[in-house]
Chain A
């Protein structure tokens, strides 16, 4: 694919915003554990992965900028809440560490598959970025799977707690796959295989891991239960997060860093 036409450009931008906003918000959320992690070693690992997320979102905002959108800082820090396209899963407060770990597992597994799919996108700039993220995300999923196994098969209250975290996170995770208005355009032009296929691949990947860790997959009657984020309809938790995240930026928008 050489140049994108107008509707294709709109479709790609919408996709990029969805991915980048998820990473920005989850990266910010996970960084809230810095200094508070359960043990020093895990604190370092989790904080470092949160930084990876912010770095990856920056690369995607950069690509949006090259496609005519505003610069990355402006995109990350000046939009109003309903302009963000992140899913509800990433907006929730960090909760207990079991919740944060389970969210990290469910989200990063979807991300690994998404970028793997995008690595062969017909939109080469996005394919190139996706290939670059491969190693970082692979570690994130290794880390997540190890923890899920550790806690699911662990002693004491850890299996109960991690099951509860799964029950809370699973319905929220389905919001990751809320389709956009441009699914057909993305699929037809081989830019992205689409949210439906991603959802299926994700389900087939996470379920064996969860079962292996002795966890029970929650039954969700309404698959659209956590939809809305991709269309700018967010939970009550996003606004306070954005206010906090942009606090310093708003003091002096033109400050040189």
Chain B
């Protein structure tokens, strides 16, 4: 914050905002709360949701919790209160091993290799067959 945004009222520096309502509040520029300590930063957990026994668990989001027990308790209302769920997994975000976005290029595939994508030619075969049949019938 630059100096021109601070005015002195009764010898206390307070915030001058473009919103006059904020200025009128005479908010101190020195925060009157403790600086956030490490303790206040709970770690995050990734939540996985299973709709049916035997189905795979799907990642549905993440949440803050101080430990795994609290994470699973809080995840229930956070992610399973509206939709059917039979089982939840929570995994500490720190335990997830990732390829990293700086390696994003390893997923690049040269365009000529589309035949490697199983869906590609199977579907095309059927589409071509369908087109051929339609052409014959008209």
Q: Is B65 an interface residue (CB 8 A)?
A: yes
Nearest chain B CB to A149 CB, angstrom units = 8
For residues 31 through 62 of chain B, which have their beta carbon under 8 Å from a beta carbon of chain A?
A: 39, 42
Contact call B70/A48, Cβ cutoff below 8 A: no
Q: Kindly state the separation between the CA atoms of A48 and B76 in the bound complex, as whole angstroms.
A: 11
Q: Is the interface of A mostly helix, strand, loop or mixed?
A: helix
Within 8 Å by CB of A41, from B64, B67, B69, lies B64
Within 8 Å by CB of B70, from A40, A49, A146, A156, lies A146
Q: Is A235 an interface residue (CB 8 A)?
A: no
Q: Is B74 an interface residue (CB 8 A)?
A: yes
- A35-46, CB under 8 A of B: which get 1 and which 0? 000011110110
Q: Is B25 an interface residue (CB 8 A)?
A: no
Task: Determine the chain B residues whose CB is within 8 A of the CB of A41 once the complex forms.
Answer: 63-65, 74, 77-78
| Residue of chain B at shortest CB distance from A47 | B77
Contact call B78/A44, Cβ cutoff below 8 A: yes
| Residue of chain B at shortest CB distance from A42 | B74
Within 8 Å by CB of A39, from B64, B69, B76, B81, lies B64
Task: Determine the chain B residues whose CB is within 8 A of the CB of A231 once the complex forms.
Answer: none
Q: Is A9 an interface residue (CB 8 A)?
A: no
Contact call A142/B77, Cβ cutoff below 8 A: no
A-side interface residues, number (CB < 8 Å): 17
Nearest chain B CB to A108 CB, angstrom units = 13
Q: Kindly state the separation between the CA atoms of A143 and B70 in the bound complex, as whole angstroms.
A: 8
Nearest chain B CB to A162 CB, angstrom units = 15
Q: Kindly state the separation between the CA atoms of A142 and B74 in the bound complex, as whole angstroms.
A: 11
Q: Kindly state the separation between the CA atoms of A53 and B54 in the bound complex, as whole angstroms.
A: 32
Q: Kindly state the separation between the CA atoms of A150 and B74 in the bound complex, as whole angstroms.
A: 13
For residues 64 through 108 of chain B, which have their beta carbon under 8 Å from a beta carbon of chain A?
A: 64-67, 69-70, 73-74, 76-78, 81
Contact call B77/A150, Cβ cutoff below 8 A: no
Task: Determine the chain A residues whose CB is within 8 A of the CB of B81 once the complex forms.
Answer: 48
Contact call B70/A150, Cβ cutoff below 8 A: yes
Interface residues of A (CB under 8 A from B): 39-42, 44-45, 48-49, 139, 142-143, 146-147, 149-150, 155-156
Top 9 closest pairs, chain A to chain B, by CB:
A45-B77, A41-B74, A48-B77, A146-B73, A41-B63, A143-B73, A44-B77, A48-B81, A146-B69
